[in-house]
Amino acid sequence: MSYQNGHFIGGEWIAEGATFANHDPVTGAEIGRIHEAGRETVDRAVTAARRAQPGWAALPVAERAAWLRRLADGMEARFDDLVAAEVADTGKDAVQARTLDIPRGAANFRVFADIAAQRPDNAYHLPGTLSYTIRRPLGVVAVIVPWNLPFLLTTWKAGAALVAGNTIVIKPSELTPGSAAVLADIAAQVGLPAGVLNVVNGPGAGSAGEFLAGHPGVDGVTFTGESRTGSAIMRTVADGVKPISFELGGKNAGLIFADARLDAAVEGSVRSVFTNGGQVCLCTERLYVERPIYEEFARRLAKRAEELSREREPMPMISAGHREKVLSYYRLAASEGAEVLAGGGVPPWAESGYHVEPTVLTGLPQGSRVNQEEIFGPVCHIAPFDTEAEAVALANDSRYGLAATVWTRDLSRAHRVAAAVQAGLVWVNTWFLRDLRTPFGGLRLSGIGREGGVHSLDFYSEPSTVTIKLEDA
């Protein structure tokens, strides 16, 4: 597969700007060339979105919902193309792409179509008055997404923004432009009005991402990615005081109590640490295990990590640069005195591409950088605890607050710990099980705001309250 991607603006493909290379993370080979959007290209995309926005917002919500369903049908019709694009860009396993990433695109569009079409308006009565709320779209929304779950995250934001009446300019990661290009094709194929959905390509800082976030014609920014990038985007949009919705990094804890079903806790932790090469903001990087089962749990987790490596899983890191970042943490752990229970380097079979070994570390202090900084690779540190209070305190000892997992068969403890752990998402005896209507997002460095269900529709629209004094009869 080799392709050349331009930008999708006002319903047309435009190949302008210098090109840069896209690499296959499995082999490192060049698989495509991407045009980089400069300020003028970004301006054309925002102008197209602005031009299309009043007409799009004027459609009854039921009609916008119908467009989203047509787009979801289009995704299902082009399912294999989307899988191929996502696998080529990210190196992820085709089974995961077929069962998680790509089906979530259609689900993301359908859930917001259903919720928006059925949402009742709010009316409030005080004696002699009637107050009600009108919701208006923000206008043009910049959708800036990372490379780890490209299609899932693009559609998660695009579906809600569109059905709320916004037009959008998507800026995929420069490392994974493929599935957004197929989505643009689908928009053209189903006849979505020109300018409603636009795509510009290129890097972030000093390029397409920054030009887009800072463009005066952009009314709101939704972003998923690293916390530092979130800070940079906040600075870019500060002058315009634009609404932002940020899903940022995590340093997620998993708490395994001695009464947990051990098999389920081990396999669940294997998933939560190693899925997608650990490159999901929800992945667990810190495991705390109650002392009576600590040795057994650590031994079994390390054995599974070695098996995954022998089976040539998990997927590669997205780029040579990101592999180097993850390996630098492996080296840091060794220099900080960690005991390496599994992995710790590059798999012996990896001759090319960006693989690292699934890695289990132990023996580091809670305050070490490896226990405090987001690594975003297939790696966790594991430590014992003695009491529930200690487990909660360890989980909360982080500048992040995105997700946590709790493994126990004690229902009272599950509720107590879920309420005490400071994270936007807590899974009990499972991980990454998603009901798309629930609020999704994190505390502290993990983000600002929540998306999901009506929480998304609230972000992508502004309420105006109208209050009428009723005349006496």
Ligand X SMILES: O=C(O)/C=C/C=C(\O)C(=O)O
Residues at the interface with ligand NAI (CB under 6 A): 144-148, 171, 173-174, 203-205, 209-210, 213, 224-226, 229, 232-233, 236, 248-249, 281, 322, 325, 374, 376
Q: Which stretch binds ligand X (CB under 6 A): 49-57, 145-153, 187-195, 356-364?
A: 145-153
Q: How far apart are CA 333 and CA 356, in angstroms?
A: 15
Among positions 34, 149, 168, 318, the unique one binding ligand X when judged by CB under 6 A:
149
Q: How far apart are CA 21 and CA 35, in angstroms?
A: 9
* Residue 86 binding ligand X, by CB under 6 A: no
Q: How far apart are CA 16 and CA 40, in angstroms?
A: 10
Residues with Cβ within 8 Å of residue 219, at least 6 apart in sequence = 138, 139, 140, 141, 166, 242, 243
Among positions 5, 22, 90, 148, the unique one binding ligand X when judged by CB under 6 A:
148
Angle between helices 291-310 and 262-274 (to 10 degrees): 50
* Residue 147 binding ligand X, by CB under 6 A: no
* Residue 281 binding ligand X, by CB under 6 A: yes
Q: Which of ligand NAI, ligand X, none does residue 272 bind to, with CB < 5 to 8 Å depending on kind?
A: none
Specify whether the CB–CB gap between 253 and 431 falls below 8 A: no
Q: Which of ligand X, ligand NAI, none does residue 156 bind to, with CB < 5 to 8 Å depending on kind?
A: ligand X
Q: Which of ligand NAI, ligand X, none does residue 174 bind to, with CB < 5 to 8 Å depending on kind?
A: ligand NAI
Binding mask 349-388 for ligand X (x = CB under 6 A): ----------------------------------------
Q: Residue 63 has which token pair?
A: 């009609």
State how far the alpha carbon of 230 is from the alpha carbons of 146, 276, 449, in Å.
Answer: 12, 22, 12
Residues with Cβ within 8 Å of residue 117, at least 6 apart in sequence = 61, 62, 65, 163
Q: How many CA atoms lie within 13 A of 397 on its CB side?
A: 16
| Residue 14 burial class via C-beta count within 10 angstroms: exposed 0-12, middle 13-18, buried 19 and up | middle
Q: What is the SS3 string spanning 317-360?
A: CCCHHHHHHHHHHHHHHHHCCCEEEECCCCCCCCCCCCCCCCEE
Residues 236-265 that bind ligand X (CB under 6 A): 247
Residue type, 346: V
Nearer to ligand X, 198 or 279 (CB): 279
Q: How far apart are CA 355 and CA 349, in angstroms?
A: 9
Q: Which of ligand X, ligand NAI, none does residue 354 bind to, with CB < 5 to 8 Å depending on kind?
A: none
Nearer to ligand NAI, 210 or 290 (CB): 210
Q: Which of ligand NAI, ligand X, none does residue 213 bind to, with CB < 5 to 8 Å depending on kind?
A: ligand NAI
Instruction: Give me the sheet containing 379-385, strands edge to edge.
Output: 339-342, 359-362, 379-385, 284-290, 252-256, 403-407, 425-428
Q: Nearest distance from residue 276's CB to ligand X, in Å?
A: 8
Q: Which of ligand NAI, ligand X, none does residue 405 bind to, with CB < 5 to 8 Å depending on kind?
A: none
Q: Nearest distance from residue 412's CB to ligand NAI, in Å?
A: 32
Nearer to ligand X, 330 or 427 (CB): 427
Specify whether the CB–CB gap between 107 and 42 falls below 8 A: no
* Residue 173 binding ligand X, by CB under 6 A: no
Q: Which of ligand X, ligand NAI, none does residue 431 bind to, with CB < 5 to 8 Å depending on kind?
A: none
Among positions 8, 147, 156, 274, the unique one binding ligand X when judged by CB under 6 A:
156
Of the residues 86, 174, 210, 247, which is catalytic?
247
| Nearest to 32, CA basis, from 54, 1, 6 | 1
For ligand X (CB under 6 A), the number of binding residues is: 11
Alpha helices in 59-93 (DSSP H): 61-77, 79-90
Q: Nearest distance from residue 281's CB to ligand X, in Å?
A: 3
247 catalytic residue (yes or no): yes
Binding stretches for ligand X (CB under 6 A): 148-149, 153, 156, 224, 247, 280-282, 434, 440
Residue numbers annotated as active site: 247
